[in-house]
Structure 1
């Protein structure tokens, strides 16, 4: 018997609801569900699966994807505006599930898959204010997850936390309890000053006396009081079972001097840097070992401790690092949206431009394959809004039998609907390779393979990663291969609510003799309050913007409150934080801001109002 759990937020606490239990079909594939409680054990298993597979499929479940219809990536978006929209969504919504599926496809079109579904929740594990996320949720996405029996309680209380690479560096700098032997004492290129020599000799004498005292104490037995007094006078402590001594330092220069002195003068003494709370080094702790073997053992213990702490800091990002280190091609169904989210959450803040994003991402994931681009090869892209629809249409049009084998077993708790999409990504990839006569296990080793040109493509109108110089030619409508310059596009708003594209086109035709000619322009609605006009003749878009702005020739439209803007205004809206619920409002705000900027370019100067500080 299974129960679905829902949560609702009320002030600072959660209220839980359990609807009536109902029957459900047993899912076709066992997907291993991974939370904080079984994360460590699952990492080793996942690593082995990745090593023994040819590809890694991924699928993300976010709390939303776009707030308004026009926030989606539209046919007339350039690579740059598409990236800016994806960047906005990645920074706004949160990842709650991250499915990973190492898989291989053999010549018999047999897919061997190993799906894992990781449950994530951002949590400040170290109470340092990091990460401090606020994110948006769309009810439709949460409702869809609830229908799939997603356990929100399990996600919140047992979800895996994480830090990006940039955040990890900051957290390590702030953690005050970390002790490390990894401080690299660089040989000083400058001569020691008198103060340096005095400091080194003082510390050398202190450490020497402390070592002799420790050896004397080991040779004779004193009562507890005498032993405690000796430790108090010498400043001696214990590091585990070994004696240690703390040496206060005032600068990184003194840390360097202590490390150099200890490593050159004393064989069985290990120096450790103790980090300060605000960064830097608070003190140097020297630990006395009993032999060379004990020194090696201590250094091994320190390395293990640092690695364990690093894993705890990284959290789920350990999975990202495993995929990255393997250098295996990553297969996805929506590369731009998925990888902007991955970059934002697990690497570093998203860069401002598409080219910078590509460069940064390519250094971590050198080979990315989007099955959407393979769908374009077989001419079914426009009919496929999701993975089940893509597989359904593929089965109807092509014969591409695929045998799916999942060797791993799942317990009753693991056998649910989460993570099935990542298996479908692998299935769709296998079917497309079969249809396109591509041999997956050898394709990436062949320079002239047909799949090579689909690597690292984030824009459906591009052919490869090298097309980084954005062109002005874009597709206007989804079903039309016709290309046109972005300079021929105009956005129009201010018309009556409910006006259709056809009525708007008739209104424009009647407004001017220039627009009444046959086939000089076309109109489509972006949302209910804004339309895009495409002019098929060069120069008409500029004429239209000038005419409606001045009222010449289009007085009636202007008097009715219609306004227009070119593609540059649309790009500025996409590159700002003013992505409102409708495009018309955003363009209007952008127009006001642009006017304010132009007005503020000139200022009035009055020397009499200046304050002369020499007179004060």
Structure 2
């Protein structure tokens, strides 16, 4: 009972945020982030590329991937699946105490602004949805009351389409022409007459409604809410500045709003009369609130991301690229567990949030600042009978020492390696072989230059051995790491790796067999990394 009660108290501590209470929760989050030392994050998604890669296992983040390739694969995962819940927990460490404020944001993409782009579609994995349903995930809260969001491109499109009145600060004009002077004089006369009429309209008059209507029509007077207002048409930014200057010389109680047309060019200045400095401040606040409400509607959950990123506070996460959230019904609890774990680590390492760190830990911390380590999934294509595949050490290798092979039929790893040893002398040196998927294998040579020799032999009939020529005639093909890198850069994810490599190889500008020291990178290779081939 005590454990159950503790979990319930933990669940109650997480503020569940939907579209209904998003505005208030955002204000609270902003205040807590400002006061916090760290921000922990966790999320629930509709799927995961690592879990969905049985069809295309090469799309997993692999040890031989450079940081650029790992990022591209992580980007694919982020773009393929939808985040339905994003938990944020600003927290501080005060001695042995952790002061935390967890929020769990329920999200759902929808085209609230009717922009028509991008397409609001995403992939789902039934295993993820089934697991979430068993845990009591509230899909209704996400679908019907989830917080939407827009990209910066969409926000710009909204601003282009929905031009709203705005307050503009007057700039001093260096020179004034005769035309400018005439325009300002006429504007001044109109505003002064309007002010006089507005003041008289507040007092009791015997004028009939028809006469008052005609006066409003002639002067262009109207109401902005309950305040008197007047419209002054303009045809350029220059005239806007002239109007603003004229207003500043007449009264301090007038608030000018510049009204743009659909193209963004100014078409009028809406002049609003306030009764006092206090009333003017109230009006300015009302205008700002309306603008903030519209911006919040447009940006949606992106406001949360902006709050976190602009705070420059350290972000704490666990396995963020493959985060499945918490195996409990209290959504958002995982971010509290991350917070608690980090606090324990800080205690063990004697780290302090105010930046005071014992000297022996400084170097260790610096080595891990602002570095993202994607979760490496492993590949295997070995036969246990072959002792060359049982090495347990991690070896650093160069991307110039990797070669991708395909078109070898249905050979096993042992059979393919045996055939290669018989086909060319380069395979008599130390090398390892792994399958990337059912269609393609990767070879790492531990003797520098061997990969280049193989690719040159494959490209030239003159230097190709008889055994290699026979395998080429049966369909064997090869490519260097630059070809694999280009596949990932072009986003050719939807095919077997062999087909993607073929597409890049067909490009005359591919330059696949050319090695460049400038483009070479050091990557990791170890025989321990493995996936079960029965999953492929």
TM-score range, shorter chain: 0.7 to 0.9
Residues 1:276 and 2:190 are matched in the alignment? no
1:573 is aligned to 2:483: no
Q: Secondary structure at the match of 2:111?
A: coil
Q: Which residue of 2 aligns with 1:427?
A: 340
**Which blocks of at least 5 consecutive residues in structure 2 are unaligned?**
1-5, 376-388, 513-536
2:221 alignment counterpart: 236
TM-score (ref. length: structure 1): 0.71
Residues 149-298 of structure 1: pairs in structure 2 closer than 5 A: 149-176=136-163, 178-181=164-167, 183-189=168-174, 191-221=175-205, 222-298=207-283
Check whether the contact 1:443–1:449 (CA below 8 A) recurs between aligned residues.
Answer: no
Q: Is the aligned partner of 1:513 residue 2:513?
A: no
Shift in Å at residue 493 of structure 1?
A: 1.2
Superposed displacement of residue 193, structure 1: 3.8
Residue deviations 1:422-453 (CA, integer Å, cap 9, x gap): 22322332344455x23243456678363243
State whether residues 502 and 523 of structure 1, in contact with CA within 8 Å, keep that contact through their aligned partners in structure 2.
Answer: no
Secondary structure (helix, strand or coil) at the match of 2:87 reads strand
Alignment: residue pair count = 480
| Displacement after TM superposition at 1:53 (Å) | 3.5
Residues 264, 124 of structure 1: alpha-carbon distance in 2 compared, 3 angstrom cutoff: farther
> What do the CA deviations read for 1:537-560 (whole angstroms, capped 9, x no partner)?
111101111212334111122112
Contact 2:350–2:358 (CA under 8 A) maintained in structure 1: no
CA RMSD of aligned residues (A): 3.2
- Is this contact kept in 2: 1:444–1:451, CA < 8 A? no
Once the 2 structures are TM-superposed, how far is the Cα of residue 495 of structure 1 from its aligned partner?
Answer: 2.1
**Cα offsets for 1:308-352 (capped at 9, x unmatched):** 3333333222322332343321101245x49xxxxxxxxxxxxxx
How big is the shift at 1:74? Answer: 0.7
Displacement of 1:116:
1.8
Q: Name the CA distance, whole Å, in 1 between partners of 2:264 and 2:391.
A: 53
Distance 1:387 1:288 in 2: 54
Q: Deviations along 1:169-218, whole A, 9 cap, x unmatched?
A: 44234323x2222x1333234x2344433333332222222222222322
Could you tell me whether the CA contact under 8 Å between 2:229 and 2:272 is conserved in 1?
Answer: yes
Distance 2:324 2:63 in 1: 17
Q: For the structure 1 residues 595 and 126, does the alpha-carbon distance in structure 2 shift closer, same or farther, using more than 3 Å as the test?
A: closer
SS of corresponding position for 1:450: helix
Secondary structure of the corresponding residue to residue 527 of structure 1? coil
Is the contact between residue 488 and residue 535 of structure 1 (CA under 8 Å) also seen in structure 2? Answer: yes
Cα distance per residue 1:224-256 (max 9 Å; x no partner): 333222212221110011111112222222222
The unaligned stretches of length 5 or more in structure 1 are 1-24, 339-384, 390-414, 462-475, 599-616
Q: Is the 8 A contact 2:274 2:280 kept in 1?
A: yes
**Counterpart secondary structure, 1:454:** coil
Cα distance change of structure 1 residues 115 and 282 upon mapping to structure 2, 3 Å threshold: same
* Change over 3 Å in CA distance of 1:446–1:434 after alignment to 2: closer
SS of the counterpart of 1:58? strand
CA separation in 1, counterparts of 2:214 and 2:346? 77
Q: Does 1:119 align with 2:106?
A: yes
Q: CA deviation at 1:111?
A: 4.5
1:133–1:266 Cα change, 3 Å: same
SS in 2 for 1:285: strand
Q: TM-score w.r.t. structure 2 length?
A: 0.80
CA distance in 2, matches of 1:583, 1:569: 11
The verdict on how the C-alpha distance between 1:444 and 1:478 changes in structure 2, with shifts beyond 3 A counting, is farther
